[in-house]
Amino acid sequence: MIALLGGLGAAIFFATSTTSSSRSARLIGAPGVVGWMMLVGLLATLPLFPLTGALDVHLTSLDVLLLVVSGLTNPLGLVLEYAALRVGRVGLVVGLVSSEGAVAAVINIAGGQSVGLAVALALAVIAAGVVVIGLASEDVGAPSRDPRVATLLALAAAGCFGVNLVTVGRLAADLPLPWAMTAPRVAGVLVFTIPLLALRRLPRPGRAAPLVIVSGLCEVAGLAAFAVGSRTDLTVASVLTSQFATITAIAAWVVFRERLTTWQIVGVTAVIGGVAVLALLNV
């Protein structure tokens, strides 16, 4: 049940972060959003080290390797996702990126994690439902300028995020949570924020400031929720985390009164059914 709640909590936070980022990117551009998000996240996570005693740990060479991989794959995935959104339809990109959970699940299973047949089937149904929801999204505006490039970028982003979920889960199993939460922020600040500042290319947040703060905090909270859930079952938490596409579709229907397509309804039904099965199996 912890894996279920952790994955769903992460999906809610990541959906909120994605929605906020999509709005702020229109105001200050994608690089600026990533730069400020990473800085906000770093400022939020650094105080957790002295408060939780996380500094009093011994890092192995494997821990350092996982921290580096986790730190690089998260911001790289964000850049690839934003690049895909610039040349492709939102529905296509979100649908493909949301397969990150399925990517992580495949990596976990390939690495030797065993799951029961019922759980495997439920995870497959959820992953399929998430992809259907994203691919069935109807976008307003001009058609995709280059769907092939958008597809490749989105798949690359899904791969990065999938690897990131796996490394965060492994780190959370061996180290205090602040380590898993902070590594991507440190890398993001070093790779994006500081260079943009040095080149005077980091825009002032202005009206985007509240959105950037929400995005940065929700990214951290999402990783924390996923890390807690992954300690119980990394595969289940990974697939459920990818439901940010489902939550986005439902939110658009409830808040913005956007109608769901027939395939979106099918996808939402599949996801809800899969989650219900997982809940019963994990009670």
| Domain spans, the chain | 2-282
For residue 280, CA distances in Å to 11, 123, 236, 273, 277 come to: 20, 13, 13, 11, 5
Integer Cα distance of 283 and 274 in angstroms: 14
Integer Cα distance of 280 and 230 in angstroms: 18
The tokens for 161 are 């995020």
Backbone angles phi, psi at 204, to 5 degrees: -65, 135
Please, is 114 exposed, middle or buried when counting C-beta atoms within 10 Å of its C-beta (0-12, 13-18, 19+)? exposed
Integer Cα distance of 153 and 128 in angstroms: 20
DSSP assigned state of 29: -
Q: Of 279 and 162, which is predicted with more confidence?
A: 162
* Extended beta strands in 113-208, E state: none
Q: Which range is most confident: 27-36, 247-256, 267-276?
A: 27-36
Question: CB 175: neighbour CB atoms within 10 A?
Answer: 20
Coil, strand or helix: which one is 176? coil
* Extended beta strands in the chain, E state: none
113 membership: H or E segment, kind and range: none
Nearest CA to 77 out of 221, 218, 184 is that of 184
Q: Of 277 and 212, which is predicted with more confidence?
A: 212
Integer Cα distance of 170 and 69 in angstroms: 11
Please give the pLDDT value at position 278: 62
| CB distance 118 to 281 below 8 Å | yes
SS3 of the chain: helix, strand, coil, percent, to 5: 80, 0, 20
pLDDT tens digits for range 173-214: 889 989 988 989 999 999 889 999 999 999 999 999 999 999
- Whether this model's pTM surpasses 0.75: yes
Nearest CA to 12 out of 223, 158, 182, 164 is that of 223
Please give the pLDDT value at position 140: 43
Residue 275 pLDDT class (50, 70, 90 cuts): low
| CB distance 96 to 154 below 8 Å | yes
Nearest CA to 180 out of 238, 234, 223 is that of 223
Residue 141 pLDDT class (50, 70, 90 cuts): very low
Residue 101 pLDDT class (50, 70, 90 cuts): confident
Integer Cα distance of 146 and 87 in angstroms: 6
- The C-alpha angle 222, 76, 99, rounded to 5 degrees, equals 60
Residue 127: partners with Cβ closer than 8 Å, 6 or more residues away? 99, 101, 102, 105, 239, 242
